[in-house]
Every structure is written in structure tokens, then in C-alpha cells.
Amino acid sequence: MATDTLPAPSEDAVRAALATVNDPEIHKPITDLGMVKSVEIAADGSVAVVVYLTVSGCPMRDTITSSVRTAVAEVEGVTGVTVELDVMSDEQRRELATSLRGGKAEREVPFAQPGSLTRVYAVASGKGGVGKSSVTVNLAAALAADGLKVGVVDADIYGHSVPRMLGTDGRPTQVENMIMPPSANGVKVISIGMFTPGNAPVVWRGPMLHRALQQFLADVYWGDLDVLLLDLPPGTGDIAISVAQLVPNAEILVVTTPQQAAAEVAERAGAIAVQTHQKIVGVVENMSGLPCPHCDEMVDVFGTGGGQVVADGLSRTTGTTVPVLGSIPIDVRLREGGDEGKPIVLTDPDSPAGSALKAIADKIGGRQRGLAGMSLGVTPRNKF
């Protein structure tokens, strides 16, 4: 008895399936990026696809191969799939880079351009050890989990720690003079630690710090971000000044601990906004108290009220109202999450620290949604 066989799939159907495959670094369909070199369909329904990689050492080659094979195999009539990889020519990479920049060949900081809808927050502190990076990473993860497109620049060149805290060990891929950042927990991230061997120190003077920050902002393909967080080094040094020059619309988020000594230094860090004409979005008080494991009392390990002291002082200095966005209690799980690359807002969002961080992220995310709503989606966040 003869059995019916399905007709071979059409090339249009195969290419439609390929259009559902996104490049894992650029996050756009491989068909739109010119990465599909050829599609051949045999009479027996077997399909051979040749895909261009942006660079020969692409770290996502296995992911791309697997995704292409899976997508094409689901097309009706396909009996088998083979995927071959090729590499783009220099000219193809240049065309891709220009296309991703919205047709502009020159480098520019997209977040500083008129019409950008990306909210940029420079997370600052007066001194080290107040948990600024922990706050940055958890806010980024919470915002991403809430559906926003988020990026983090680890601008603390000397004391970079964001990749570990966010849980990424990926390396950036370079396409021409464009850098594709790795992602973790839905957050794109770039750090000087991704370019240095092991735990080697970075020994640079001011001009090199400025150049590194400029590259992170202009040469990295961030895509269409809703929020960009910059984890600044402590104090009011070169990087803080460079941020004001490169992204003058960046808003400052000050992190402090409750004790008076830390509050005084944090207030000085925030007061730089007067000279740089930047807005202070608010103050976050970290390590605000330790919940007693044996009772319901809060142990004020570092004192109390430092966040409000900083907010009041900055309100007087700037002539505007600077609010306390939230207070985060001491939580061993917050520290453990940073060491393990598992933000507490994802692993234990209902914990006291997780809840406090999520509440702060909700306030920041709400500001971004309000901005996007006012523009009715007409103006793009950025072109590159």
C-alpha cells in the first residue's frame, strides 16, 4: 500500500522560520542582519542552511547553529536540517555596523542625543563599601524582570565587580569597531574586567579612564534600552566628571549607609550635580539595619537616619526636593547573591532586602514608563 509523502517545503517557509531566530548578542533576526548566506532544499525535504557569523571566533556559534536547526526542523515537510557556518567579510561587517547605528558610520553616544528615551542613572557614592554595586546590580535585574530593556556600564574601572555580581562570565564580541556586550539575567553589561586577564589591576590615569568610558557608551551596541545604569567609582573624580560631559542628561542616584560619617561624604558626592547641572533622582540608604534573627527588632548596626540626612542636605544644596527612594536592611543573602552572581531580587524577592530593592526599582521603572508614555512611542530611545 502506497504511503503519502509531504511535499518539500518552500524556501519562503524556511526563510520565515529563520526570521524567528535572533542573533543571541545583537538580539535581532538573523535574516534582518544579513546572516543567512544560502538556503538549499532537496527533493526529499532535507534543508541545508549556510549562516554567516560576524567573526570567526564567535562565542555563540553553537547557540546559533542549534537555534537555526530547531527553527527549520519545525517547518512542515522538512525531513532533515544541516547547518554550515561561514564568516562575514570585512565589507559585510562594516555594512552591518553602519546598519545597527541607524545608517550613521560615525561613533556617537546615543544616550546623549536629542530624542533619546533611555533613562540614564549614574549610581554614585561618597566612599567605597556602602554596597553601591550591589544596589546597581539588583536594580538592573529587577527592572529587567519587570519587562524593561536594561544595560549596565561598570564604570568603576579600578574596582570593577559588576560581572561577577550579575552572574556573567561571557566575553564581548567585536564586529569592526562595534562591541557586542554579553547578557545575564536579561541585562546587557560591559566592564573593563572583561578585557583584562585574570584579576589583573588597571593602572590608568584620567585621560585613559575617560576614553574607556567613552568606548563603553559609544562603541558598545546597546540596542533599544529603556534604562542604562552606570556603576560609578566612589567620590567625585575623573569618571564622575566624564559622565557629566558624555551623558549630560544622566541623573544621579546616591547610595549611602546610615552613619553620619558616610552620610557627610555621600552628600559631597551628590553635590557635584550643582556644578555639572545634573538632576539627583534620589537617595538609597543601604545597610539600614539588621533584622534580629531571634526577635522582630531591628539592630541599627550603622546608626540611623543617614539617608534622610543626605536627602535633606542635597535638597538644600540643589534647591530641589531630593527624596529617599528606599532603605535596604542588612541581609546575608544579599551578600551571598553578589558572590554567586544571583541577585536577591530574583532568588528571594520577598525577603526584606529583596522587597526594598524591588520597591526602589518600581519607582525608577515607573519614571521611565511615564517618559515613554509622554512620547507615545514616536521617538526612538536611541539609534545605536
- Binding site feature residues for ATP: 126-133
Residues 6+ away with beta carbon under 8 Å from 252 = 121, 122, 124, 270, 272, 273, 278, 279, 280, 281
Cα–Cα distance list, 378 to 36, 43, 115, 181, 373 (Å): 31, 47, 10, 27, 10
CA nearest 250: which of 132, 153, 133, 158?
153
Count the neighbouring beta carbons within 10 Å of the beta carbon of residue 340.
12
5 residue type, one letter = T
Cα 46 from Cα 90, distance rounded (Å): 32
Annotation: binding site: 126-133
**Coil vs helix vs strand at 280:** strand
Report helix, strand or coil for 282: strand
CB 56 within 8 A of CB 87: yes
Please give the Cα distance from 243 to 256 (Å, whole number).
20
Check: CB of residue 14 under 8 Å from CB of residue 47: yes
| Per-residue burial over 281-293, b = 16 or more CB atoms within 10 Å of its CB, e = otherwise | bbbbbbbbbbbee
Within 8 A by CB and 6+ apart from 262, the residues are 126, 127, 130, 256, 302, 306
**Hunting for cell 539627583 — which residue is that?**
280
Give the residue from 80, 61, 94 showing the smallest Cα distance to 14: 80
> Contact 119/367 with Cβ under 8 angstroms?
yes
